[in-house]
Amino acid sequence: MHTREPGGLTWNSFPRPFWYDSGMTTKIAVSLPDELVDAARRAVTEGRSSSVSAFIASAMADKTRFDDLEALLADMAAESGPPDESDRRWAREALGLI
């Protein structure tokens, strides 16, 4: 996926140095609400994350996986219809909830 920038350019439109590996991380600046920054810093202080950047990267990875799962479920529902009550009952039994 390429983010469009003004003028129709993408970040991939710009030449990269010969030593640049596309697997490298990219430094960006973002604005976050104070309470989210506090939560990220607290996670580092409490040893739940190695850095604020790692905390944010983990949260973004989780969000990406959630979005991918949401898209898969939407595709499945479009293909076979939404789950009915017997499907839900089977799932509850399979999960040991009933």
Q: What is the pLDDT of residues 70-84, one digit of tens each?
A: 999 999 989 999 889
Asked whether residue 89 is domain-assigned, the answer is yes
Q: Which amino acid belongs to residue 70?
A: E
Q: How many domains does the chain have?
A: 1
Domain that holds residue 87: 34-98
Residue 10, SS3?
Answer: strand
pLDDT digits (tens, 9 = 90+) for 46-67: 999 999 999 999 999 999 999 9
Asked whether residue 20 is domain-assigned, the answer is no
Asked whether residue 15 is domain-assigned, the answer is no
pLDDT digits (tens, 9 = 90+) for 33-47: 999 999 999 999 999
The answer to whether 2 and 12 have CB atoms below 8 angstroms apart is yes
Distance, CA of 72 to CA of 64 (rounded, Å): 12
Asked whether residue 49 is domain-assigned, the answer is yes
Asked whether residue 16 is domain-assigned, the answer is no
Residue 58's nearest CA partner among 70, 68, 48, 47 is 48
Asked whether residue 83 is domain-assigned, the answer is yes
Asked whether residue 93 is domain-assigned, the answer is yes
